[in-house]
Structure 1
Amino acid sequence: MFGLTLPQFIAVAVLPLLFAITVHEAAHGWAAKRLGDPTAQRLGRLTLNPIKHIDPFGTVLVPGLLLLFGGFIFGWAKPVPVTWENLRQPKRDMALVAAAGPGANLLMALLWALVAKAGALLPDTLYWAGTPMQYMGQFGILINAVLMVLNLLPLPPLDGGRVAVGLLPGRYAWQLSRVEPYGFFILLALLFIPVGGQSVLRMILAPPVTLVHRMVSGLAGL
């Protein structure tokens, strides 16, 4: 990927991937606190320390295996706990808390685009810094675009599913919320079911991810 060897790719990908996942979760906790629920703060989850958010399976094993086998890279962290009853307007506020994660990914994509642009502007004599910054920035844009679009899918327990539950009228919201216990298995099925040589999940995500990547890169002049 990006024309790099596997060790080189891991070196430039680790930091953007960790921040993409952990800042996403911290954003949920921050939004919940602003809306009346201090649960995440009390449990020490309002932090950018990756150790507090890492899920051994979703943050390490799954992305590592997908990277090793050249698949579609994604992952997840330990969900930030939110006490629904503490929120001022629970139905609306849960949707806002959910939306904070993808919003954080969009912001990080823009910041990584600036890193890539800064690397490109460095003189050739500083290639040892400029080249890694460009690769790291490009991967930062990509992984954050993937996580943003993935989490906006209207499938509970993904953020998009919870936003949809918060926006739909009561009866329809309740019906959609009943999907949540099965959402993870549906997501895995979409990831591993092949159609035309690629997974269904990749077919769904590729067009919007490409659009977001191009828009962010264009804003930074990349």
Structure 2
Amino acid sequence: MFRGNLSDYLLMVPVLLISLTVHEFAHGYTAYRLGDPTAKNEGRLSLNPFRHLDPIGTIMMIVARIGWAKPVPINPAYFRDRKRGTMLVSFAGPLSNLAMAFIGVFLYKITYVISYSSIIAGDAFATYFMSFLLLFFTVNINLAIFNLLPVPPLDGSKILYGVLPYDKYFRYMQYERYVGMIFLVIVLAFPSALSTVISFFTQPIAKSMIWCVDLIIGLFL
């Protein structure tokens, strides 16, 4: 659960705007590269955050630090291989979040090295920027793993399309509305349980990214 003062929420706003926008743009751009112009035609191939934000998903992100944006429309009929195309488009969003998380922790480490004296001295801008990067890193890892859960309407449910046989997938998706509603109730009623599940995956990923960044920086410093 995300609780904090006004400055915490002021940090969360730009983190959300960047993270959710790039996530949805990645979906649309991947679909476009695979031959589907639907997102482009509907104005969703954009880095304008207001074209992508979903009210409920944004509120959930602020309150529980997990959420979603308005799904980018795609038409699998444009793909040469529908299952492969749908899976690639769905995976593009979480992958973009993992990439942003890596960039965030890399910049965090670099900023710490370069601005160490300013941070120790209590420089307001340096402290704010470091806090922003740390939150950016954390939110993007959580956003990636959350969206990979195989629950409608999250990306993971569409990745199943590329993994499961057609009959089993469509049988599962017949209950899409009910599964989604039950999942939302669980998220609201038992946020700590979901956080525990997500942390099981995010912690080793975060540690691996930090290890890689330390290794890269160590080679040049």
**TM-score bin (small chain):** 0.7 to 0.9
Segments of 5+ residues of structure 2 without an aligned counterpart are none
Q: What is the deviation of 1:38?
A: 0.6
Contact 2:86 2:162 survives alignment (8 Å): yes
Residue 72 of structure 2 corresponds to residue 73 of structure 1? no
Q: What is the deviation of 1:182?
A: 2.5
User: Residues 12-91 of structure 1: matches in 2 within 5 Å?
Assistant: 12-59=11-58, 61-64=59-62, 66=63, 72-91=64-83
1:136 to 132, 135, 147: 132
| Structure 1 segments (4+ residues) deviating >4 Å | none
Contact 2:38 2:74 survives alignment (8 Å): yes
Match of 1:118 in 2: 110
TM-score by length of 1: 0.85
Determine the C-alpha separation between the residues in 1 that align with 2:203 and 2:137: 10
Determine the C-alpha separation between the residues in 2 that align with 1:30 and 1:119: 31
Q: Structure 1 stretch 87-96 or stretch 125-134: which is displaced more? A: 125-134
User: Residues 185-204 of structure 1: matches in 2 within 5 Å?
Assistant: 185-194=181-190, 199-204=192-197
RMSD, aligned CA: 2.3
Match of 2:98 in 1: 106
Q: What is the deviation of 1:189?
A: 2.3
User: Residues 142-221 of structure 1: matches in 2 within 5 Å?
Assistant: 142-194=138-190, 199-221=192-214
1:18-51 CA distance string (max 9 Å, x none): 1111111111101110111011111121111111
Contact 1:40 1:80 survives alignment (8 Å): yes
Determine the C-alpha separation between the residues in 2 that align with 1:11 and 1:218: 29
- The residue type paired with residue 52 of structure 1 is R
Contact 1:141 1:216 survives alignment (8 Å): no
Q: What is the deviation of 1:184?
A: 2.3
- The residue type paired with residue 134 of structure 1 is M
Segments of 5+ residues of structure 1 without an aligned counterpart are 67-71
Match of 1:69 in 2: none
Determine the C-alpha separation between the residues in 2 that align with 1:129 and 1:218: 26
3-state SS in 2 of match to 1:48: coil
TM-score by length of 2: 0.86
Determine the C-alpha separation between the residues in 2 that align with 1:6 and 1:139: 14
Determine the C-alpha separation between the residues in 2 that align with 1:79 and 1:141: 23
